[in-house]
Amino acid sequence: MTNQEFDFTDHSHRRYNPLTDSWILVSPHRAKRPWLGQKETVAKNTIPEYDEKCFLCPGNARVTGGANPKYESTYIFQNDFAAVKTEQPTLPAHMDFKDPLKNKLFKVESVRGNCFVICFSPKHNVTIPQMKHDELVNVVGAWQQLYNNLSKEARDDGKPFKYVQIFENKGTAMGCSNLHPHGQAWCLESIPSEVSQELKSFQKYKTENHCDLLGDYVKLELQERTRIVVENDSFVCVVPYWAVWPFETMIVSKKKIASVAQFNDKEKDDLASILKTLTVKYDNLFECSFPYSMGLHQAPLNATGEELENSWFHMHFYPPLLRSATVRKFLVGFELLGEPQRDLTAEQAADRLRALDGEVHYTEKL
């Protein structure tokens, strides 16, 4: 025992994530350790506006044949290498392996669906923080249109679509195979595990407290303000109290919105604005094209009344960089075998992001 007062900026502790019903170890004192491990290579800013070899640039041939139209705004097409197929045989609801032990331990289900590529811009050499506001409004509008179209196909045409996961992997550090600014949408006939766990947590919280988990969380963050990075009329961006990645953030709607389908023009405009500000801050942090994986979490397609009641629109940003443009965090060792761990506290990360310029990109200052 010690008489020393507990210091959250120096003493190790665990934080609970109510969305995933899991814990994270926070070790702020470890931020002082020297780094002799792997360093990433910073990409040189020599990317052309148009690349004749890029399969996503307007007018270019696609890898499986055919060609892209000479699109001038956000463009969506079916992924040539989809992870799931719309047409394939189905398995029985309860697969019988003809073995009692296998039936206890092995579960399997067929999954149908479709995948799409969302080209944010016809320009090959820009990313979200370098796009104009109106261009980002078009991206948000494309997300909304895709969500609505898939809902209609499932409802009217019997397509096997239940949930659409819209996401972006930015940068080679996140496994991006083509640097043309684009995201993806994977649409499945089942709800993915991460989203399913969140919906269960939302339902449990509502049953126990008669209110919404993210509604209460937004209220608390707006009161404390120590983890807010940026906000506007419709959305707030925070470094979550339970963040795993060093500069992880979450964009949450201030009022209850179940999905992009419910966005009005003001909310589309505000989401585009906060996306621009956050990603400019990200790039300005280490003066590099800041890598991340980000995605939308929202209500399932053609959601039931209960699913709509439990859903609250939000976005997760998971960036790997830790100390500089070349030093990244790895989830290995204890974090794979025990539980996730971070060095920087959420409040320290929010302080750094909040202090950064969110309007002028560092490349415009050179």
DSSP string, 139-161: HHHHHHHHHHHHHHHHHHH----
80 assigned binding-site residue: yes
Look at 330 and 134; give whichever has higher pLDDT: 134
Q: What would the pLDDT profile of 68-115 be if each residue is shown by its tens digit? A: 999 999 999 999 999 999 989 888 888 888 999 999 999 999 999 999
**Is 42 known as a binding-site position?**
no
Say if residue 288 carries a ligand binding annotation. no
- Tens digits of residue pLDDT in 250-269: 999 999 999 999 999 999 99
Q: Are 147 and 261 in contact (CB under 8 A)?
A: yes
Domain ranges of the chain: 43-87+107-364
Query: Quick one: pLDDT band at residue 174, thresholds 50, 70, 90?
Result: confident
Beta strands 22-26 and 75-78, pairing class: unpaired
Average pLDDT over residues 39-61: 81
Q: Locate tokens 């189905």: which residue?
A: 90
Q: Under CATH, domain 43-87+107-364 is a member of which superfamily?
A: HIT-like (3.30.428.10)
- The pLDDT score that the predictor gives to residue 262 is 98
Q: Average pLDDT over the chain, rounded to whole?
A: 92
Is 79 flagged in the annotation as binding?
yes
Is there a binding annotation on residue 341?
A: yes
Query: What does the alpha-carbon distance between residue 291 and residue 282 come to, in Å, rounded to a whole number?
Result: 9
The burial class, CB within 10 Å (0-12 / 13-18 / 19+), for 7 is exposed
Q: What's the pLDDT score for residue 36? A: 44
Find out whether 271 and 281 touch, Cβ atoms under 8 Å. no
Which residue stretches of the chain are H helix? 100-105, 133-157, 193-209, 213-224, 265-286, 305-310, 334-337, 346-354
- pTM of the complete model: 0.94
* Tokens describing residue 290: 């800041």
Look at residue 43 and tell me whether its pLDDT is greater than 60. Answer: no
11-15, 18-22, 61-65, 132-136: least confidently modelled range: 61-65
Number of neighbouring beta carbons within 10 Å of residue 221: 22
pLDDT at 35: 41
- Share in percent of the chain as helix, strand, coil (round to 5): 30, 20, 50
Higher pLDDT, 189 or 34: 189
pLDDT tens readout for residues 107-157: 999 999 999 999 999 999 999 999 999 999 999 999 999 999 999 999 999
Amino acid at 160: P
Report the catalytic residues. Answer: 182
Could you count the other beta carbons within 10 Å of the beta carbon of residue 154? Answer: 19
pLDDT band, very low/low/confident/very high, at 244 (cuts 50, 70, 90): very high
Proportion of the chain above pLDDT 90, given as a percent: 80
13 among annotated binding-site residues: no
| pLDDT tens-digit series, residues 198-235 | 999 999 999 999 999 999 999 999 999 999 999 999 99
More confident site: 35 or 135: 135
- Asked whether residue 135 is marked as a ligand-binding residue, the answer is no
- Parallel, antiparallel, or unpaired for β 22-26 and 341-342? parallel
Bridge pairing between strands 182-188 and 228-231: unpaired
pLDDT at 39: 47
